[in-house]
Amino acid sequence: MAEAKRKSLQAKDARDILVEKLKDGSLEPWQRRKIELRLKLKGEGWSPEKKLATSSMEKIRLLNAEFPEVWTMQRLSKQFKVSQEAIRRILKSKFQPSETQTLERETKRKAQIKEYKNSQLKRMQ
């Protein structure tokens, strides 16, 4: 019990330090964004509520590359209904799945759809 209380106090102290750094105003924009995200996530890892399909991520990259002045992060965020942080991470990422990875994902997705449809049919009977 004492160990849990000590860890809780340490976490609170760490949050207080981060808040003080934010108020200081001497941070670079990227440092500020990193601290704000850390405070928002409360120590948990990045796990967005809505996850986009690979095709949607490719569309985001293409639109931003072709028309960056029109398709800003804010507009992309509204259009695809995800956070600006998600858009920033998508644009920053250079990951391209191999053909085998793409085929595996498609096969897995088709199996999930088939399983879902079968479960819906069983419910109707």
Evaluate whether 18 touches 39 at the Cβ level (below 8 Å): yes
Vertex 117 angle, CA 114 and 119, to 5°: 110
Residue 1: band (very low, low, confident or very high) from pLDDT cuts 50, 70, 90: low
- Give the pLDDT confidence score for residue 19 in this predicted structure: 75
The stretch 2-6 carries a mean pLDDT of 57
Q: Which residue has the higher pLDDT, 5 or 49?
A: 49
Supply 112's token pair.
């999930």
- 83 Cβ neighbours under 8 A, 6+ residues apart: 48, 77
- Give the pLDDT confidence score for residue 3 in this predicted structure: 61
Burial class from Cβ neighbours inside 10 Å (0-12, 13-18, 19+) for residue 16 reads exposed
- Give the pLDDT confidence score for residue 69 in this predicted structure: 95
* Percent of the chain whose pLDDT exceeds 90: 38
Amino acid at 94: K
State pLDDT tens for residues 73-85: 999 999 999 988 8
